[in-house]
Amino acid sequence: MRRIDALLADHIADLDLTVAFVADAVGVTECELRRIAAEKNVDVQRWIVGARLSRARHDLMSASAEPDTVFAHEHGFHDLAALVVAFTTTYGLTPYVWWEMRAEG
């Protein structure tokens, strides 16, 4: 599991980071990877998205410009819309509102 954790951390912003990529990189099938993760109560895809969102939320607090497509790509999302949907679903605020709060905090 440590090897998987390290791989995920190293590639968290890669757009091609998928369950299939992780399984291939550690030499197991997707089914085996999901089983290994489930034994630790981890859903690999949710871990990937959660880690990306956590990093995006943190980085928004020090970003000099509002989130855009480049920001979304740097955090592993295919486009700004994907980041906005995931961020809003998870945190209840859009990334733009979170970014605006940095000036108020």
What's the CATH code of the domain at 7? 1.10.10.60
What whole-number distance in Å separates Cα of residue 70 and Cα of residue 75? 9
pLDDT at 59: 96
7 has pLDDT over 90: no
105 has pLDDT over 80: no
The parent domain of residue 57 ranges over 2-104
**Tally of structural domains, the chain:** 1
Q: In this predicted model, what pLDDT tens digit does every residue of 28-73 receive, in sequence order?
A: 999 999 999 999 999 999 989 999 999 999 999 999 999 999 999 9
pLDDT at 72: 98
21: left (phi over 0), alpha (psi -120 to 50) or beta: alpha
Alpha-carbon separation of residue 14 from 5, 19, 32, 38, 62 (angstroms): 15, 12, 22, 23, 21
Question: Cβ(45)–Cβ(38) under 8 Å?
Answer: no
